[in-house]
Amino acid sequence: MSNTLDLAKQLIAIPSVTPDDKGCQEIIARRLKNIGFEIENLRFGEVDNLWARLGTSGPLLVFAGHTDVVPTGPVDQWSHDPFKPTLVDDIMYGRGAADMKSSIAAMVCACEKFAASTAEPKGSMAFLITSDEEGPATDGTIKVIEWLEQRGDKIDWCLVGEPSSTNTVGDVVKNGRRGSIGARLTIKGIQGHIAYPHLAKNPIHQFAPVFSDLVNEQWDNGNEFFPPTSFQISNINAGTGATNVIPGTVDVLFNLRYSTEITHESIKSRIHAILDKHDIDYDISWEHSGKPFLTPKGELVDAVQAAIKTVCGIETKLSTAGGTSDGRFIAPTGAQVVELGPVNESIHKIDE
């Protein structure tokens, strides 16, 4: 495992806070080029992306991941320099250790070992690496997929190295993800003196019954792979800060993580119907960041489960829980997508 550990350390030592790759992809590309991969560097906007492929025939297996990491937060609260990978009792600390530079190192080293032992592999292998996964994700994997689609390159199987595991590596793999749609809602009232409510219109009071309807709405019942769709309000803001002023507007941020039992268009339509029912003056803007996807049992899922059983000696659980990943951009092309990576308990935290 020393090669994997050494490469992981090399990548973690680079402060590639999103969306700045800072040379991580150059290191990866050099390693892959040495074993025969064709390298294509793709820059969209301010984002660096890497497409590297070995072979020209199908089927095509892609290893997908990202070199960008989230900011460290207060460095003085870390036990060790976040960009100086440190081993303590066989645990490696550093920003990106779990999410997900260790996965990239494992993928690269696995391919090096495979290339050394296999003279004529069947099909092709490729890497799709971006530095825009932790940010807005507008110039990363989604743009690479558009580029691949335009030139007719089709991915059959994709292994995403996101940290999927719960207690030990391989105990959980993600074979799908929920969709995500969010909105910014502004309800318009009339600002006024709190002692003269008949001369004003309080948008907070207008929002109260809307709030109740949205929270109590049964969006769907989920299915064997997905829990029921979840509606959550993340922010409510109104008022001038004074105690004697009725606010003129109230701003509400909310998000729904939704299953395959419903579409984002249906969600929008039902929310508009709830708002219109209460006869309020409002504006709403939507942000749809990904449709749900599911890879049922089949070639890729079966192979991943069998490999985990062989190497780790455990039965793996399939899950669609958690947030979104770049798998949401790859699955709609028809590819089978599975996420397998380290334990995710420490991701985005101090002392990752």
Known catalytic residues? 68, 133
**Tokens standing for 214?**
């949205």
Q: Helices 203-216 and 264-277: crossing angle, nearest 10°?
A: 140
Q: Which residues pair with 159 in a beta bridge?
A: 63, 338
Cα(311)–Cα(144) distance, integer angstroms: 32
Contact assessment for residue 48 and residue 41, using Cβ atoms and an 8 Å cutoff = yes
What is the CB neighbour count within 10 angstroms for residue 38?
13
Phi, psi (degrees; rounded to nearest 5) at 104: -60, -45
**What is the radius of gyration, based on Cα positions, of the chain?**
24
> Amino acid letter at 159?
L
Q: State in Å, rounded, how far the first CA of the chain is from the last one.
A: 20
Task: Indicate if the alpha-carbon torsion angle 118, 5, 107, 129 is positive or negative.
Answer: negative
The SS3 assignment for 76 reads helix
Going by C-alpha positions, the residue among 199, 179, 178 that lies closest to residue 190 is 199
For residue 341, what are the contacts with CB-CB under 8 A and spacing of at least 6? Answer: 98, 100, 102, 103, 160, 161, 162, 163, 164, 165, 169
Cα(131)–Cα(233) distance, integer angstroms: 29
